[in-house]
Structure 1
Amino acid sequence: MSSEAAQRFQRLLDRVAASIRFEIYAVGGAPVAWRSIRKGTLLATNVPDDFRTRYIENREYERDPLIVVLRAASRPVRTADIRAAAEAEPALMPNFVAIGEALGTAVVAVPLRFRGRLGGGVIFRRREPEFTDAEVEYLELVAPALHLAALDLPAAAPTNDLTARERECLAWTSVGKTAWEIGSILGISEHTAVAHLNAAVRKLGAASRAHAVAEALRRGLIE
């Protein structure tokens, strides 16, 4: 990341903060072919590291009603929309409550769609009060600019180095090998291959092995 890119993103974020109070932000990416953004990439966020790591390791995004609603949305998602999704699916309610307590219950999540497909999202949170209609309209206008500026930033997920074996396992996964096949090729057990792959997924802040492969390719960790 160039210092110029970081300064450009921060200036834009500061302008938003000067107009609307928020405590937490997250800018996420999904497939955008011309910029090579992989599905689920976290581009920029100030979510505390410990919360983010736990959220990814425990795959809490699979039970996060905000993510569930955002994936299908074409307009800004607000707290009431997220609460309604949690109430409709009781399994989502614990995460709705826990995430709200940790990061703030007032939410605006702006989906960004490119040619009809979800290309990313920008999320703002605060403790209280709820965002007003005028604030939501403003955030919907600035979200695309924040997302564009964030494309020049490195992923905000944990950046622990991969071991040589983890890189090997990811490289073989990238050409379609299963964990059993990787174990046979490398002379290790299938269980050990799975452990290396899971560690790589965790370290890269990925949502799946496929996502980890994509992220490792993006960072130049494998060829």
Structure 2
Amino acid sequence: MSGLEPPVSIRSDAPTEAETRFLKLVGRLSIDVPFDVYAISVAPACGRGGGSGRLLADNLPEDYRRRYLEHRDFERDPVMLASRAGRLPVRTAEVRAVAEADPELMPCFAAAVAALGPAVLAIPLRFRNRLSGDVVFRRRGAEFSDAEVGYCELAAPALLLAATELPVAGPPDDLTPRERECLAWTSVGKTAWEIGSILGISEHTAVAHLNGAVRKLRAVSRAQAVAEALRRGLID
């Protein structure tokens, strides 16, 4: 719908066994509960996400996903704020109420509605009283029914578990030399404008290389991408 990827899409030409297993789970769920978009994230200080959390799997439109991560919209996303504040599934009305209570959240809310659809269902998952992650669904059709919410609530733990088994990142060769250079300069505090000046490229091009590295490393920010690249030995 509207240019969105199918809800069983993973960005891989040759899915691994873990990716195939995840795709089957998402595909089965989408038959019983139609949705256009899914996003699965691990909460801060849980799993591989470390202290800043991690987006594990999604089929968000690429341009929306890039803006969302680059602008750190996850810090002011009313869906995340509403979901992580409680234990019960969160639907559109609760998300809208959170956004309307703080004018600074409305741009993020409006952008998501326009790009992803108005109907939203977010399921917070907790383990031993601690938030372990979120599973979010959106669609352009009707609001999610009580039966659909219950079905998704049952399926969410399996989806999160399967998503945590997906590869954190591709092999080192997946990062281009320019992406590594830009990350390396970011690691010493350089801005995109400064990186562009150093490398003789435009600021826009530097941002594009950084965005590519963030996406490939499945990070939620440049800082997290730098940390992951350092951990993997992709940059010094």
**Is the TM value for this pair above 0.5?**
yes
**Corresponding residue SS for 2:99:** helix
What is the Cα deviation at residue 12 of structure 1? 0.7
2:224 counterpart (201, 211, 220)? 211
Does residue 102 of structure 1 match 2:102?
no
Is the alpha carbon distance of 1:220 and 1:141 closer, same or farther for their aligned partners in structure 2, counting shifts above 3 Å? farther
Name which structure has the greater RCO, CA cutoff 8 Å, separation 6+: 1
Matches within 5 A, 1:25-174: 25-31=38-44, 35-38=47-50, 39-155=52-168, 161=176, 163=178, 164-169=180-185, 173=187
Contact 1:105–1:126 (8 Å) recurs in 2:
yes
**Corresponding residue SS for 1:21:** coil
What is the Cα deviation at residue 41 of structure 1? 1.5
What is the Cα deviation at residue 150 of structure 1? 1.0
Q: Which region of structure 1 is more displaced relative to structure 2, 58-67 or 126-135?
A: 58-67
What is the Cα deviation at residue 126 of structure 1? 0.6
What is the Cα deviation at residue 97 of structure 1? 1.9
| Matching residue of 2:3 | none
Contact 1:108–1:124 (8 Å) recurs in 2:
yes
- Structure 2 distance, partners of 1:126, 1:107, is 7
What is the Cα deviation at residue 204 of structure 1? 1.1
The percent of aligned pairs where both chains have the same amino acid is 49
**Corresponding residue SS for 1:221:** coil
- Structure 1 distance, partners of 2:163, 2:91, is 22
What is the Cα deviation at residue 221 of structure 1? 2.5
Is the alpha carbon distance of 1:10 and 1:208 closer, same or farther for their aligned partners in structure 2, counting shifts above 3 Å? closer
What is the Cα deviation at residue 6 of structure 1? 1.4
**Corresponding residue SS for 1:36:** helix
- Structure 1 distance, partners of 2:145, 2:225, is 38
TM-score where L is the length of structure 2: 0.72
Contact 1:9–1:150 (8 Å) recurs in 2:
yes
Is the alpha carbon distance of 1:120 and 1:217 closer, same or farther for their aligned partners in structure 2, counting shifts above 3 Å? farther
**Corresponding residue SS for 2:41:** strand
Is the alpha carbon distance of 1:57 and 1:70 closer, same or farther for their aligned partners in structure 2, counting shifts above 3 Å? same
Contact 2:88–2:123 (8 Å) recurs in 1:
yes
Is the alpha carbon distance of 1:222 and 1:31 closer, same or farther for their aligned partners in structure 2, counting shifts above 3 Å? farther
Amino acid across the alignment from 2:214: L
Aligned-pair Cα RMSD in Å: 3.2
Q: 5+ unaligned residues in a row in structure 1: which ranges?
A: 181-187
What is the Cα deviation at residue 179 of structure 1? 3.1
- Structure 2 distance, partners of 1:79, 1:141, is 19
State the aligned residue count.
205
Is the alpha carbon distance of 1:125 and 1:148 closer, same or farther for their aligned partners in structure 2, counting shifts above 3 Å? same
- Structure 2 distance, partners of 1:167, 1:201, is 7
Is the alpha carbon distance of 1:142 and 1:200 closer, same or farther for their aligned partners in structure 2, counting shifts above 3 Å? same
What is the Cα deviation at residue 105 of structure 1? 0.7
Contact 1:56–1:207 (8 Å) recurs in 2:
yes
Q: 5+ unaligned residues in a row in structure 2: which ranges?
A: 1-13
Contact 1:166–1:199 (8 Å) recurs in 2:
no
**Corresponding residue SS for 1:141:** helix
- Structure 1 distance, partners of 2:154, 2:59, is 21
